[in-house]
Amino acid sequence: MEHLWDWAAVEILTGQGFSSLQSGRFGPREQKGAYNYVDIWPLRVIWEPVHIGEEIGAEPIMYPDTEEESPAKIKCKGINQVAIVVENLEQVAENYWNIFGIGPWAIFNWESPLVYDRKYHGQTVWGREKIALVQVGDVQLELVQPVEGPSIYRDWLDEHGEGLHHMNFLVDDVDEAVEILTGQGFSSLQSGRFGPREQKGAYNYVDIWPLRAIWEPVHIGEEIGAEPIMYP
């Protein structure tokens, strides 16, 4: 989140009753580099207003210190989406709209027949969720609310409560990507296919524990296959 002017963004947020957890300044003083972590609890995550000057003010140590290509069999070229699991999707979407002006949100009922071939820890299951999508710059933000049936979203809420859940990245072939990852010892937690079958929309949540996060290889066709409800 970009600053409004110096600490103006934080003053607005704390004036609305949200707590500053930690803050600091960095780099050449004339460039006014600054950050502040604010607990904006209605959004179910900590947000950091930050201002970055033209330079950090220090030389980094690069890793790896080589020009050789990574040995990774799958190359993630960008984070497409960051997802938050919530108990009440409409309420949280409204909070994002009212606090940060993020929206409009496209809300989908994520269930059969739109979603099919659904698996949970490798077993075929029935279930449904509601999801809300919005583009924020180069990254899509997703809210997920479990409704019925077993799911890793409900598991997360029961174990951790609401909050950040996974990131996804785009691939041409989800099955191929997951075959590589499971061959490296990482577990598929939940998967499914969606949309018109000829477009081969698919997703798979993989517990890549060395990266300290759930990653979701996903392939998205030209259309989702359903009309969303827009909020607001």
Q: How do the domains of the chain map onto residue ranges? A: 1-65, 81-231
CA pair distance 156, 29, nearest whole angstrom: 42
Please tell us whether the domain made up of 81-231 is placed in CATH 3.20.20.140.
Answer: no
pLDDT digits (tens, 9 = 90+) for 186-200: 999 999 999 999 999
Q: What is the dihedral of CA 96, 99, 103, 109, to 10 degrees?
A: 20
Q: What is the pTM of this model?
A: 0.94
Whats the size of the chain, residue-wise?
232
CA pair distance 87, 153, nearest whole angstrom: 10
Q: For residue 3, is pLDDT > 60?
A: no
pLDDT digits (tens, 9 = 90+) for 88-131: 999 999 999 999 999 999 999 999 999 999 999 999 999 999 99
| CB contact at 8 A, 51 and 23 | no
